[in-house]
Structure 1
Amino acid sequence: MSGLNTKLRKLDEDNKHIRVAIVGAGLMGKGMVSQIMLVKGMIPSLVISHKISDAVEAYTLAGIKKDDVVVAKNLGEINRAMEQNKYVASDITEYASEPNLIDVVVDATGVPDVGAKLAMDAIFNKKHIILLNVEADVVVGPILNKIAKSAGVVYSGTAGDEPGAVKEIFDFAEATGFEVLAIGKGKNNPLDYEATPDSVREQALKYKLKPLRLASFIDGTNTMIEMAAMANATGFLPDIRGGHCPTTDVKSLPKVYSLKEEGGILNKYKIVDYALGIAPGVFVIVTTPMPQAHHEMQYLKMGPGPNYVLYRPYHLTSLETPISIAKAYFDNEPTIAPIFDKPVAEAITIAKRDLKKGERLDGIGEYTVLGSIETYEKAKEDNLLPIGLVNKNTIVKQDIKKGEFITYDMVELDKTTTIYKLRQLQEEM
C-alpha cells in the first residue's frame, strides 16, 4: 500500500493524474467522487448517471461549484471539457470509456446487464474496469476477466467491498504461509427473506439508499452474491446450499468454523460462509502444521488454536475504491477477480412469493425473486437459474411456489441482453 501511495504522490508532483470515469451516482458513487477528490494523483473527471442532477450533485457534495461542472451531451463536449481540465457530468452511459483522456472506468450501478456492457465497452476501448457490481461479476466475471487479460487491461472488483476485503486477508494469509480453512463475512442487516422495496423504503430513504438496494441486503441476496464472488476468486466453495449462517462472535469463529468432528459446523474445509453477530467485518480462518508457529500465535494472543481467525472489523465500500484504481493503473493487477474460466459458485434464484404462469419477474432486491448460493457444478446439474440473468422481461412459464428454486426451464429469459450473450459464450468456452 505504501508503494501505491508513493506512486500517487509522484504522479501528483509531476502534475499528472489518473483520470477516472464513474458510472452511477447513488450513495456509493457520490461517496467515491468525494473520496477521489482527496487522493493525490487522481481525478474523478467524468460522472455519469441516468439522472444528470445526481451526477452534478456528486461533484457539489465534493466541494466543486455547480458552475464549474460541464454538463455534456456528446463525446466531443466531454473530450473538450476534459482537455480543459473541467469536471464533466453526463447521463449517457455509453460515453464512460470513450473519452480520450479516461484511464479507468468504475461501475457503481449494481445493475447486472449495465455492468456487463460497461465492462465490455471499457475493455474494447483499452480502459481498466473496476466493478462495484458484484451482481454482474458472479454471472460473467470469468469471461470478462479473460477478455480483459487478452486486451492488456485490468478487470477487477473493488477494495472495500466484502469480497475485496476478504481477498486481501486471504492473500496475506497465503503469502505468510498459513493454510486457509474458511473465508467469510458478517451480515450487516437482520435477515428477512420477504423484504421488498416497500417494506424497507423508510429506512432506505433515511440512508439515501435505493429501496431495492437495501431490500437486496436484508433478504440475503447481496450476501449470497458476495460469497459467490469470494468463491470464484479463491476456489473455495459453499459448504451447504445457502450457507450455514451461525450466530456467533469474533472470538468464537475459529471453533465454529471447524469440522463437525472437531466440534464445529463444517462438513469440509476450504469453504465460504457468512455469520450473524460479527458485522460489518470479514474473516479468514487459518491454521499451520508448524508447532512453533502455533506457539507464537498463542503468545500473540490469537487464541488457543489449532484454528485462528484473521478478522477485519470494517470495510469502507466505495471509499476504498481508489486503491483498486491505483493498483490497476500502476501495477496492472486486480484487487479481486475470478481465477478460473468458469465460476466455482453460483448465485441462484428463489421465488420470493408464489408466481403465476405468464407473469414477469423483476430483479435483485425487488418483489419476485431472491438469491442463494450453490456450487457451480450442482447448480448446473440441477439447471438452476443465476439470479443475475433475471430482469423485467423474464416471463414465468409455469406456476412456481414461494421458496422454490427456479430453473432455466421454468422461465423464458431475455436473450437480447449483453449479460445473457456473455454467459452463453462463457458456458461454451
Structure 2
Amino acid sequence: MLGLNYKLRELENLGREIHVGLIGCGQMGRGMISQIENMKGMRVVATADLHTTLIEQAYMKAGINKQSIVLTTQLEEAEKAIEQGKVVGTVYSELVTSLPSVDVIVDATGVPNLGAEIAWKAILNKKHIVMLNVEADVTVGPLLKQMADASGVIYTGSAGDEPGAVMELYDFADAIGFEIIALGKGKNNPLNHEANPSTAEVEAKLKGASPKMIASFQDGTKTMVEMNAVANATGFLPDVAGMHGPSGTVGELPSLFQLKEQGGILDGKGIVDYVNGVAPGVFAIISSDKEEVHHEMNYLKMGDGPNYVLYRPYHLTSLETPLSVARAYFHKEATIAPWKGLQAETVAVAKKDLQPGDHLDGIGGYTVYGKLLSYNEASTGSALPIGLVDPNVVVTRPVRKGEIITFDAIEQKKESMIWKLRSIQMQSTDNKSVKNEFVKLKSILV
C-alpha cells in the first residue's frame, strides 16, 4: 500500500480522479462513501441500492449536498450528472456496472448470488472489481479471477476485510523469507451454531446492522468463509474440519500454534485457524531455520522462539477498501485473490433437523451454518457449498441437526447466477481454456 497517497494526490493535481461505482449501501457501503470523500483523487460517483433513501443519506452524511445527488434509472442522465461533478443513486446495479465513466466497481452487498452477478457484469464491462463479498468469492472466485484475467481487469478482495489484512502479514513474512506456520484471525464473539436473526436482533439494533449479518458472525459462518478466502489465496488448509478455534492471548499464540510433538495443537504446518480472545486482530505465526534470525528476533523482543507472532490489532473493513481500489487502478494488482484455486470449501451444516420440503434460507438464517473443510474432503463427500444456499434450494430427505448437507439431499428449484458460474467453474479447471470459457459465459449469460 506504500505510495498510494502520493499517486492519488498526483492524480488529483492533474484534475482527475478514480471513479468508483458502489453496489450495496448498507453499513459497509455508507462508511466507504464517507471515507473516500476525505481522500484525494477518488470519488464514489455512482451507488446502487434498493433503497435510494439510504444512498441519499450516505452521500449527505459524507458532506455532499442534496442538490448534487441525482437519482435516476437512465444511463445517459447518470453519465451526464457525473460529467457535471454530481453523484448518482439508482436502484439498478446494472446501471452502475455499465457506466462508461466508472473505473472500479465495489460489491458491498454481502449476498453471494448478487455478488457473483455484479462481479461478472463488471468484468464484462471491463471494469476492475473489488469484492467486499467474501461469500461469493469463496464459491466462484477462481472462475471470476480467470475471467477477469482474460478480460484484462483486476478481480480482488478488499483491504481491511480480514482476509486482506491476513494477506498483508503473509506477503510481508513470505517476502523476507520466514517460514509461515499458521495464518489466522480473532473471533469477536462466542461460537453459537444456533444463532439466527431472532437471537441476534438485539445486538443488531445496537450496532445498526442486519440481524442476518450478526447471526453469521455468531454462528461462525463468517469466520469460516474469511479463512476459506485465505486458504484459496495461499494454499494453507484447515488443520482439522472447522479449524481448532482455541482460546488464547496474543502472547500465547506462538506456543499454541506448534506441532503436537512440540506441545502445541497442530498436526501440520501451513494452516488457517481462528482464536477466541485476540479479536479484532489478525495474525501470522512465523519461524526460521537460521540461528542468527532467532538471535535477532530475541533481541527485538519478539519472543524466545522457535515460533513468533506477527499481529495486526485492527482491520478497518470498508474504510480500507479504497486502498484496494487504488491498487487495482494504479498497479493492476489484487490485494487478495484465489491464486491457488479451490483449496478449501465452506460447506453447509444443518442448524436444526430439516425435513423434505424445507427451504434453506441462506447465510445468517435459521437453517444452516458454515464449516470449513479442505476442498478434497468437501468434494469427496459431495458437500453443498454455503454460497450456493438460498431459498430456492429445497431439502429432499431428512437431515439431522449438525449434519453436513450434501447435493443428494437437496433440489434447486430455480437456477441462479452463482449456480451457473459454479457449474462452469467445476467444468473449467484448465487455465488454457479460459478464453473459450469467457466466450461461453458471454453466450450463456448476456
Q: State the TM-score, normalizing by the size of structure 2.
A: 0.95
Residue 67 of structure 1 and its aligned partner are, at CA, apart by 2.3
Q: Name the residue aligned to 1:56.
A: 56
Structure 1 residue 415: Cα displacement: 5.3
Residues 238-257 of structure 1: pairs in structure 2 closer than 5 A: 238-257=238-257
Residue number in structure 1 paired with 2:354: 355
Q: Answer yes or no: is 1:224 the counterpart of 2:224.
A: yes
Match of 2:437 in 1: none
Residue in 2 that maps onto 1:92: 92
3-state SS of 1:181 partner: strand
User: Is 2:272 the partner of 1:276?
Assistant: no
Separation in 1, partners of 2:169, 2:208:
30
Q: Distance in 1 between matches of 2:312 and 2:75?
A: 42
Report matched runs for 1:406-425 at 5 Å: 406-414=405-413, 416-425=415-424
Q: Deviations over 1:328-386 (max 9, x none)?
A: 0000000000013x310001000011111012110000111100000001100010010
| TM-superposition CA deviations, 1:48-97 (whole Å, max 9, x none) | 11111111111011111222210012212211111111111111111121
1:102 paired with 2:99, answer: no
Letter in 2 for 1:104: V
Does the 8 Å contact 2:73/2:95 carry over to 1? no
Cα distance in 2 between the residues matched to 1:287 and 1:413? 47
What SS class does the counterpart of residue 50 from structure 1 fall into?
coil
Distance 1:219 1:80 in 2: 46
Summarize the alignment of residues 150-169 of structure 1 with structure 2, pairs less than 5 Å apart: 150-169=150-169
For the residues of structure 2 that align with 1:414 and 1:373, how far apart are their CA atoms? 26
Residues of 1 paired with 2:223 and 2:357: CA distance? 30
- Are the aligned partners of 1:414 and 1:420 in contact in 2 as well (CA < 8 Å)? no
Q: Secondary structure at the match of 2:424?
A: helix
List per-residue Cα deviations over 1:78-136 (Å, max 9, x = no partner): 11111111111111111121111000000000000101000000001010000000000
- CA contact 2:392–2:414 (8 Å) conserved in 1: no
Aligned to 1:34: 34
Measure how far apart 1:188 and its partner are: 1.1
| Count of residues in correspondence between the two structures | 428
Task: State the secondary structure of the residue aligned to 1:76.
Answer: helix
Percent of aligned positions with the same letter in both sequences? Answer: 52
- What secondary structure, in the 3-state scheme, does the structure 2 residue paired with 1:96 have? helix
Deviation at 1:189, TM superposition (A): 1.6
Report the AA paired with residue 225 of structure 1: V
Give me the whole-angstrom Cα distance separating, in 2, the residues matched to 1:415 and 1:141: 22
Task: Identify the residue that residue 129 of structure 2 maps to in structure 1.
Answer: 129
Residue matched to 1:149: 149
SS in 2 for 1:119: helix
What is the Cα deviation at residue 281 of structure 1?
0.3
Deviations 1:166-224 (A, max 9, x none): 00110000001111110000001221111111111121011110110000001100000
Alignment of 1:22-421 (within 5 A): 22-340=22-340, 342-414=341-413, 416-421=415-420
TM-score where L is the length of structure 1: 0.99
Q: Deviation of residue 414 (structure 1)?
A: 4.6
> Who is 2:443 aligned against?
none
SS of residue in 1 equivalent to 2:120: helix
Change (3 A) 1:276 1:57: same
Render the CA deviation track for 1:273-305: whole Å, top value 9, x for unaligned.
Answer: 000000000000000111001000000000000
- Aligned partner of 1:394: which letter? V
- Whether contact under 8 Å (1:352, 1:402) holds in the other structure is yes
2:432 corresponds to which residue? none
Over the residues paired in the alignment, what is the CA RMSD in angstroms?
0.8
1:2, CA displacement in angstroms?
3.2
8 Å CA contact 1:390–1:413 kept in 2: the answer is no
The match for 1:21 is 21
Match of 2:435 in 1: none
Determine the C-alpha separation between the residues in 1 that align with 2:401 and 2:56: 42
Give CA deviations for 1:293-318 in whole Å, capped at 9, x if unaligned: 10000000000001100000000000
Equivalent in the alignment of 1:7: 7
Unaligned runs of 5+ in 1: none
1:413 CA displacement: 2.2
Query: Structure 2 stretches of 5 or more lacking a match?
Result: 429-446
